[in-house]
Structure 1
């Protein structure tokens, strides 16, 4: 049994790293297409959806993100959302490199320090000794969490015209909701002895994760990438999403942090990294 658990954890971490690479390389490819398009907004979604899917490079990035979604789903099932989510920033290494080489985004010293802190954040978070997720029996936690995230999106949306980087926390909150619904889906799906019955029972979280994943993947990510440097946008989005997802894992799925010191160091690194990158301009 111990060997099986170790194997599951290792596979989950490997899949998480693959997911992180896919989710951090995809924006570079998509931004190359977005730079050739007129400004995207949420007022005419069908028009912009057609325009996005008419761009082969954007579609390639979108498909990479979808594959990353599948690897994320299995990683979550194998190792748990609070272990997997902090690893999502590992792909920032690839993103920063490609941003510099392919998009000519200049990375100054302040940004480099911010990226380094964000890369080390998952190490300390992982050392936080977080317990495995447990399926909830009361819907209060997930309802309150969803309400807070949605209210947060609404509150920030009004300032996006003046402050373009606000699309990063908006995207992060939407992704955090999708992550919670993914965890819910996997726990229900694999919690049944009959996989077909598990799938039927998991239809609600499947629909919800599909809706919020689509909102993030098609709209908020595209708008955010079009108006911000890819390295800055993805780093801030990933870090805010990480903390939001971990908070949800604790509140909704009863995960416990046993090593507060390590977790606190990771939290501090992440916050400082976000501050440094939020001041970075291309």
Structure 2
């Protein structure tokens, strides 16, 4: 249960970061993955975006800690559910409208978290080590595939929607999450200070940086095209599915043996995926609405 609580607290901090990033981006110049230097200048030259990024990074550190305390099939869905729920709450607080489906998603999130929490009644087994070469191969292949597909589609002159780019960002960030799971395992096995050297000698922090960098470029581009309550759930749920499936297999974690607890775990995980179905139908209109707001707010030259 400790891992679940830490994951939820990390989600709160991460949500604050995303909200600050979103509001900073909606008042900035347009960015594109096809202009990486311009993208870096716009992002790093925006103090509000940098502040939001710091909060998001702190939330990610909390997620790494929680992954060393509980199974990935509990922590990752809880984190994703917390972020999605938090973003919808922030949307309401900021006075923006959300759809009926998003209200339903908001109501489903506490249920999903409750099911996940109940499924840990038997303690469960938390995997802390994985087959490193296999983990590296899966992670690198995923990141390369995300970049290649987006570049190929965009290079042929086709428009890549915010939701599609958010999904690609989710896969890249999911690969980073696998490295976070590895780092969390080192923290759990060795303690904070004793884990520093093994972590630096492992591929985890470097592959984490690679997946995070690719994911954030794709995600920030999608975030500017639509509001966070549309793009973030798509990104989080896609990354959620990838990380839970790959992480459970790579780290040798077993699901609950008790049929009731297994049903609770699967049910809680499934409910976090429902968010995509509920918000995807409104993605196009939200993206168009965001574009109109940005066009009206940017200075005319």
User: Where on the TM-score scale, by shorter chain, does this alignment land: which range?
Assistant: 0.7 to 0.9
Distance 1:277 1:167, change over 3 A: same
**Shift in alpha-carbon separation, 1:58–1:133, aligned structure 2, 3 A:** same
1:279, distance to aligned residue in structure 2 (A): 0.7
- Determine which of 263, 266, 287 is the counterpart of 1:264: 266
Cα displacement (A) at 1:166: 0.8
Superposition deviation, residue 78 in structure 1: 2.7
Decide which of 113, 133, 144 is 1:139's aligned counterpart: 133
Kept in 1, the 8 Å contact 2:101–2:279? The answer is yes
Whether the aligned pair in 2 keeps the contact of 1:28 and 1:98 (CA below 8 Å) is yes
Please name the residue that 2:174 is paired with. 176
Partner of residue 211, structure 2: 212
1:263–1:186: structure 2 CA closer, same or farther, 3 Å change rule? closer
Question: 2: distance between equivalents of 1:266 and 1:163?
Answer: 29
Find the residue that maps to 1:257 and give its secondary structure. Answer: coil
Partners of 1:114 and 1:201 lie apart in 2 by 42
Shift of 1:142: 4.9
Distance in 2 (alpha carbons) for counterparts of 1:273 and 1:87: 13
Distance apart, 1:189 and its partner CA: 5.4
1:71-94, Cα deviation, whole Å (9 max, x unpaired): 222222233433321221224333
Q: What is the number of equivalent residue pairs in this alignment?
A: 270
The CA deviation at 1:112 is 1.1
Query: Which range is displaced more, 85-94 or 43-52?
Result: 85-94
CA shift at 1:247, angstroms? 0.7
For residues 37 and 90 of structure 1, the distance between their equivalents in structure 2, rounded to whole angstroms, comes to 27
Q: Where does the alignment leave 5 or more consecutive residues of structure 1 unmatched?
A: 1-8
Following TM superposition, by how much is the alpha carbon of 1:156 offset from its aligned partner in structure 2, in angstroms? 5.5
Q: Distance in 2 between matches of 1:71 and 1:111?
A: 26
Instruction: Report what 1:121 is aligned to.
Output: 112
Q: CA deviation at 1:30?
A: 1.1
Paired with 1:183 and 1:197, the residues of 2 have a C-alpha distance of: 17
Alignment of 1:195-274 (within 5 A): 195=195, 197-202=197-202, 204-217=203-216, 219-258=217-256, 259-274=261-276
Q: State how 1:85-124 maps to structure 2 within 5 Å.
A: 85-88=76-79, 89-102=81-94, 104-124=95-115
- Using the size of structure 1 for normalisation, the TM-score is 0.84
Report the Cα distance in structure 2 between the residues aligned to 1:196 and 1:59, rounded to whole angstroms: 26
Distance 2:56 2:5 in 1: 17
Moved more, 75-84 or 147-156: 147-156
Gaps of 5+ in 2: 287-301
Provide the secondary structure at the position in 2 that maps to 1:71: helix
Q: Distance in 2 between matches of 1:138 and 1:208?
A: 12
1:78 counterpart SS class? coil
CA RMSD of aligned residues (A): 2.6
Provide the C-alpha distance between the structure 2 equivalents of 1:247 and 1:153, rounded to a whole number of angstroms: 21
Q: Deviations over 1:136-179 (max 9, x none)?
A: 24633552365256435644662782422112211211111111
